[in-house]
């Protein structure tokens, strides 16, 4: 894990500043911590979560879901190629149906010529009354369903696609109708992210649970939503990026939890890639709403040169929901109602950006670096 310098944002009078440092992101990219002040100095790199069972340390989750053993690139390809799979399924169903019609030709009888396909008795009574059909003795004459196995396969495949990269909801009514938003729960699988073991606060688990909540709230506002992961699985950065780009998403929301050894450092914070004005406006609006939820939070937005923000082609932000080592933030993260308030704040920020509102600029001496 890389060490990062704390922000130079001055400390408001009467408050102790807070800094941030968070663990290394998957794919080898260091993650700069949230906004800091002089009260949170630079510290040695944090120790990764230990996988060996310890007192009070829950056993690591096993990877789940049908995509757990597949290649991350395959999972990204499945997410990006859902239309191609749909076309393949339609062709397979059509082919199976044609083969089923051919299989209905009656068997060649003793001394009789084979009847052409489709040349059925005109009365059709053998099917209606369940009499032995023209296919031979002992048959009920009912047409089999040759497409049924293919239909079952189609359903299973669609289920797998849904678990690999989420399923976008149908367009609804609301301020976000017509938008596609990719929600990226950070970390996962063996990469547990930032941890506070005594309180059983595991970043990868919080990210996923929070992302499900955020997805539901965004859908209520009319948005279609994709999750980059829906199970506790390890997913590199590039497949996450590909899911957002290949689907032509309108927004990217990457969800994380921060880490710093000083328990006085607290507060949710929003990051954007430098030079992206729409991402900066989105970050300003999201951070403004997050600070309304927690009046004690005085953090401002910061730039972050994260790969997941740099290589995606839509307005995107990385939201640190708080610090795992902060009692203040842990109380929020473990409280369902307060966690929901954070999610609702992010949704309001996205709605304000979609409406074209300008972001509230911080004071010049507190501007993002």
Residue 59 within any structural domain of the chain? no
Confidence band, pLDDT 50/70/90 cuts, at residue 95: low
DSSP 159-224: HHHHHHH--PPPP-SSTTTT-EEEEEE--BTTB--SEEGGGTEEHHHHHHHHHHHHHHHHHHTT-E
The SS3 of residue 252 is strand
Whether the CB-CB separation of 297 and 268 falls below 8 Å is answered with yes
The answer to whether 224 and 169 are in contact (CB under 8 A) is yes
Mean pLDDT of 189-208: 95
Whether 173 contacts 222, CB under 8 Å: yes
Q: What is the CATH number of the domain that holds 280?
A: 3.40.630.40
Q: Does 40 fall in a domain?
A: no
pLDDT number for residue 150: 61
Residue of higher predicted confidence among 24 and 350: 350
C-alpha 222/C-alpha 178 separation (Å) is 7
User: What pLDDT does residue 158 have?
Assistant: 53
Complete DSSP assignment for 84-134: HHHHHHHHHHHHHHHHHHHHTSPPP-TT-PPPPTT---SS-HHHHTT---T
Tell me which H or E stretch contains 79: helix 72-80
Tell me, yes or no, whether 66 lies in a domain: no
DSSP 21: B
Q: What is the mean pLDDT of the chain?
A: 72
Question: Does residue 325 register a pLDDT over 60?
Answer: yes
- According to the model, what pLDDT value does residue 140 have? 44
CA dihedral 68, 313, 34, 30 (to 10 degrees): 60
What DSSP line would sit under 275-343, residue for residue? Answer: T-HHHHHHHHHHHHHHHHH-TT-----EE---HHHHS-SS-EEEEEEEETT-HHHHHHHT-HHHHHHHH
202 pLDDT band, cuts 50/70/90, is: very high
Predicted local confidence at residue 152, as pLDDT: 72
Q: What is the pLDDT of residue 365?
A: 73
The two tokens of residue 104 are: 């209905």
What total of structural domains would you count in the chain? 1
Yes or no: say if 30 and 4 are a contact pair by the CB < 8 Å rule: yes
pLDDT tens readout for residues 6-40 = 343 433 444 333 333 333 333 334 443 443 433 45
How far is Cα 365 from Cα 281, in angstroms, rounded to an integer?
A: 18
pLDDT band at 307; cut points 50, 70, 90: very high
pLDDT at position 157: 59
**What is the pLDDT averaged over residues 157-170?**
48
* Predicted local distance difference test score (pLDDT) of residue 236: 95
Mean pLDDT over 52-73 rounds to: 40
pLDDT at 262: 92
The C-alpha atoms of residue 2 and residue 40 are separated, in whole angstroms, by 17
- Whether the pLDDT of residue 129 is over 70: the answer is no
**pLDDT greater than 90 at residue 96:** no
- pLDDT given for residue 324 in this prediction: 96
Give the pLDDT confidence score for residue 221 in this predicted structure.
98
Q: Which pLDDT score, from 0 to 100, does residue 366 have?
A: 72
Q: What is the pLDDT of residue 291?
A: 97
Taking residues 318-327, report their average pLDDT: 97
Supply the range of the domain harboring residue 189: 166-358
- d(C-alpha 198, C-alpha 285), whole Å: 34
Task: Return the percentage of the chain with pLDDT > 90, whole number.
Answer: 50
Output the six-digit token pair for 183.
């929600």
Report, as an integer, the average pLDDT of 342-358: 98
Q: Does residue 59 surpass a pLDDT of 80?
A: no
CB of 138 closer than 8 Å to CB of 132: yes
Which of the two residues, 58 and 143, has the higher pLDDT score? 143
pTM of the model: 0.59
Residue 208 domain-assigned (yes or no): yes
Least confident of 115-124, 178-187, 336-345: 115-124
Check residue 149 and give its pLDDT: 65
CA distances from 60 to 191, 197, 202, 334 (A): 10, 12, 10, 19
> Among 180-184, 205-209, 358-362, which is the least confidently predicted range?
358-362
Give a yes or no: residue 332 inside a domain: yes
Averaged pLDDT, 226-250 = 97
Does some domain include residue 282? yes
Out of 48-62, 235-249, 305-319, 338-352, pick the least confident.
Answer: 48-62
For residue 298, being part of any structural domain is answered with yes
């Amino acid at each position: 894990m890389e060490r990062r310098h704390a922000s130079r944002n001055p400390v408001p009078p009467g408050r102790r500043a807070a800094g941030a440092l968070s663990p290394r992101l998957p794919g080898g990219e260091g993650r700069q911590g949230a906004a800091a002040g002089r009260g949170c100095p630079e510290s040695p790199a944090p120790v990764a979560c230990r996988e060996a069972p310890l007192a009070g340390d829950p056993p690591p989750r096993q990877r789940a879901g049908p995509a757990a053993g597949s290649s991350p690139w395959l999972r990204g390809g499945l997410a990006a190629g859902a239309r191609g799979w749909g076309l393949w399924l339609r062709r397979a169903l059509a082919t199976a149906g044609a083969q089923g019609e051919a299989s209905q030709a009656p068997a060649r009888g003793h001394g009789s010529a084979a009847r052409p396909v489709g040349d059925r008795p005109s009365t059709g009574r053998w099917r209606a009354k369940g009499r032995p059909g023209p296919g031979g003795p002992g048959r009920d004459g009912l047409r089999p369903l040759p497409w049924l196995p293919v239909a079952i396969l189609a359903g299973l495949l669609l289920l797998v696609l849904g678990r690999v990269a989420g399923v976008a909801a149908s367009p609804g009514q609301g301020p976000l109708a017509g938008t596609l938003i990719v929600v990226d729960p950070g970390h996962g699988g063996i990469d547990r992210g930032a941890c506070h073991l005594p309180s059983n606060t595991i970043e990868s688990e919080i990210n996923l649970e929070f992302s499900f909540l955020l997805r539901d709230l965004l859908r209520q506002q009319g948005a279609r939503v994709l999750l980059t992961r829906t199970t506790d699985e390890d997913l590199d950065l590039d497949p996450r990026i590909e899911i957002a780009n290949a689907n032509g998403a309108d927004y990217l929301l990457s969800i994380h939890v921060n880490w710093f050894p000083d328990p006085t450092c607290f507060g949710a914070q929003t990051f954007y890639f430098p030079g992206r004005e729409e991402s900066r406006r989105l970050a300003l609006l999201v951070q403004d709403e997050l600070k309304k939820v927690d009046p004690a939070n005085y953090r401002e937005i910061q730039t972050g040169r994260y790969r997941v923000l740099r290589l995606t082609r839509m307005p995107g932000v990385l939201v640190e929901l708080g610090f795992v080592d902060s009692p203040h933030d842990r109380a929020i993260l473990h409280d369902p109602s307060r966690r929901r308030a954070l999610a609702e704040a992010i949704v309001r920020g996205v709605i304000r950006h979609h409406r074209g509102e300008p972001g509230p600029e911080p004071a010049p001496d507190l501007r993002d670096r």
